[in-house]
């Protein structure tokens, strides 16, 4: 029997995101608090002679039009870096919206790295893995960890945080069905440095902070402001705002009953919006 491997590409949420400056290299310097949901896309793989990728799921269509998938790029870089001759038949079940501010391709690439390292007996402590993750994208290193962590620089300089008060918090994700490209959102940033994120309790720091990309994202997709407004109105909300560069928004709740009540209310008001009831890892 052929051994199979599986991995979850956990949805990424930016509890807060401050853009501090744009560097001479064109990249924005930022500070962000990454957390991850218990749910996400699903990957499976079996050993094979060549590398292949099959994409299924509710949000597969946009990826079928793009042959340069981050999952395949991650697999190819692993093979080159560690002299792997075997291939892998990878199946990606795309359950999260594409171009939506919750990790997407970055989370998928990170999950592929974790999964294929097990398949190909590559130690997760190999220094080359950090370089591969950074080469694939600024969010990929945090997505490899997939635990609450602070990101600085481009978001790929990772610093530990005390996540004891975050794990298990009920979480509701809402996407209004609008794909928002990251580049134009960053280009719309007003250039104002609103200061650093706090370094104390991460939830307190997030509540006192904000997402500097929310305004430029709303300028591109005004419906985002409606999503945030509806989430903020719900009972039991500890924090609600847009994640990343949008358009997915999130709310953290004090208890499961409040989250589930909010989910039902928004489903009634906006039945066409994508929703995910989950919790923080």
What are the catalytic residues?
12, 139
Q: Identify the residue whose tokens are 């104390």.
A: 200
Give me the sign of the Cα torsion angle 85, 142, 278, 233: negative
Please report, for residues 18, 65, 194, the alpha-carbon distance to residue 212 in angstroms, rounded to integers and kept in the order given.
5, 31, 8
CB count, 10 Å around CB of 26? 7
Strand pairing of 5-22 and 28-48?
Answer: antiparallel
Q: Are 238 and 170 in contact (CB under 8 A)?
A: no
- Cis, peptide link before residue 133, omega less than 30° from 0: no
Distance CA 270, CA 267 (A): 5
What does 215-280 look like in DSSP terms, one character per residue? Answer: HHHHHH-THHHHHHHHHHHSTTEEEEEE-TTSS-EEEEESSHHHHHHHHHHHHHH-TTSEEEEEEB
Please state, in angstroms and rounded to a whole number, the distance separating the CA atoms of residues 31 and 45: 34
Query: Can you tell me whether residue 64 is helix, strand or coil?
Result: helix
As a whole number of angstroms, the distance between CA 119 and CA 46 comes to 8
The Cα-based distances of 82 to 106, 118, 122, 127, 199 in angstroms read 21, 13, 8, 11, 37
């Amino acid at each position: 029997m052929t051994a199979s491997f599986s991995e979850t590409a956990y949805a990424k949420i930016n509890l807060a995101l401050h853009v501090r400056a744009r560097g001479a290299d064109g990249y924005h310097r930022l500070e962000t608090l990454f957390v991850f949901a218990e749910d996400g896309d699903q990957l499976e793989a079996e050993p094979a002679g060549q590398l292949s990728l099959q994409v299924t799921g509710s949000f597969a269509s946009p990826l079928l039009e793009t042959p340069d998938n981050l999952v395949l790029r991650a697999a190819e870089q692993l093979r080159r870096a560690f002299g792997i001759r075997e291939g892998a038949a990878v199946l990606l079940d795309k359950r999260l919206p594409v171009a939506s501010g919750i990790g997407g391709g970055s989370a998928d690439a990170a999950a592929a790295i974790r999964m294929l390292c097990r398949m190909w007996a590559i130690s997760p402590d190999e220094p080359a893995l950090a370089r591969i993750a950074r080469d694939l994208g600024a969010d990929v290193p945090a997505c490899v960890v997939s635990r609450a962590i602070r990101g600085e620089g481009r978001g790929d300089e990772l610093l530990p945080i005390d996540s004891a008060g975050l794990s298990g918090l009920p979480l509701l994700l809402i996407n209004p069905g609008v794909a928002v490209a990251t580049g134009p959102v960053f280009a719309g940033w007003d250039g104002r440095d609103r200061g650093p994120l706090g370094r104390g309790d991460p939830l307190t720091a997030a509540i006192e902070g904000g997402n500097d990309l929310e305004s430029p994202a709303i300028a591109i997709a005004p419906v985002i402001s409606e999503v945030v407004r509806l989430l903020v109105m719900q009972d039991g909300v500890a924090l609600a705002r847009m994640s990343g560069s949008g358009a997915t928004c999130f709310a953290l709740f004090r208890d499961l009953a409040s989250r589930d009540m909010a989910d039902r209310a928004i489903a009634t008001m906006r039945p066409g919006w994508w929703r995910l009831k989950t919790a923080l890892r």
